[in-house]
């Protein structure tokens, strides 16, 4: 049930031979993502449970889930970009049905992230689900 944007990332990962190349690709995805305006880097939008600073700003439109995000760590910005590809444009009511753990597992991220980064991704997914459920 992944979006076309996420499927594109998954296809790219299939062509990358080793984890270092995949890691660089995730960082590149983060670099390509627009920065969050400083005025949105506030405690209410900060995601607790992440080792680095992470902000997610929901901006749903026309019943579809959309968000902006940022982090002070490049790999985390990349992970936000991956989550954006997974969730952006999905109908709000369907966000909770996405198995983020399984989808990220397709990329091999579950096996290559530190425990702290994995906890951070889990916290971001929980925030996304909560916001979508409040719709």
Active site residues: 50
Residue 62 buriedness (CB in 10 A; 0-12 / 13-18 / 19+)? exposed
Q: Are the beta carbons of 105 and 13 closer than 8 angstroms? A: no
DSSP β-bridge partners for residue 54: 71
Distance CA 99, CA 124 (A): 13
């Amino acid at each position: 049930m992944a979006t076309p944007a996420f499927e594109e990332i998954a296809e790219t990962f299939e062509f990358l031979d080793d984890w270092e190349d995949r890691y660089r690709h995730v960082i590149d995805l983060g670099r390509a993502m627009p920065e969050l305006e400083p005025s949105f880097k506030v405690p209410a939008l900060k995601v607790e449970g992440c080792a680095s600073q992470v902000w997610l700003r929901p901006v749903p439109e026309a019943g579809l889930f959309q968000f902006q995000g940022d982090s002070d760590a490049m790999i985390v910005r990349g992970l936000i970009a991956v989550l954006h590809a997974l969730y952006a444009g999905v109908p709000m009511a369907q966000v909770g049905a996405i198995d983020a753990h399984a989808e990220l597992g397709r990329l091999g991220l579950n096996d290559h992230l530190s425990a702290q980064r994995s906890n951070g991704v889990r916290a971001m997914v929980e925030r996304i689900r909560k916001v979508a459920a409040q719709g």
